Amino acid sequence: MPNLADTYNKYKNQGIQIIAISMFYDPPNQVLNFIKKNNIPFPVVIDADNKIAQHFENIRLTPTSILINQKGQIIDQIVGEIDFNKLENILSKNI
């Protein structure tokens, strides 16, 4: 997540928000330890009842990144590891 934290820090003053969502099967204490150990600068939500994953077409694979514009429209979805060049390109076109 270091590159994601860098991306967040680069774009946070331009209206970009990053929210990490931990899946229902991730033990909360491990999630909290990960946040502290990696100094995650953005919010992390634990999807304990799996409703967030179900809302976004039942996400089953992590990581899955969903990019949503200011109008609430999904502009892209990245399944698996993030290609940060692609992410930068998408963000720069949608700011």
72 secondary structure, DSSP code: S
Residues 25 and 50: their CA atoms lie apart, in Å, by 9
Segment 9-53, tens digit of pLDDT: 998 998 888 999 999 899 999 999 999 998 999 999 999 999 998
Rounded to a whole number of angstroms, the CA Rg of the chain reads 13
Lowest mean pLDDT of 18-22, 68-72, 87-91, name the range: 68-72
Query: Is the CB of residue 57 less than 8 Å from the CB of residue 64?
Result: no
Tell me the average pLDDT across 72-80. Answer: 88
Cis before 27 (ω within 30):
no
CATH number of 2-94: 3.40.30.10
Residues 52 and 59: their CA atoms lie apart, in Å, by 8
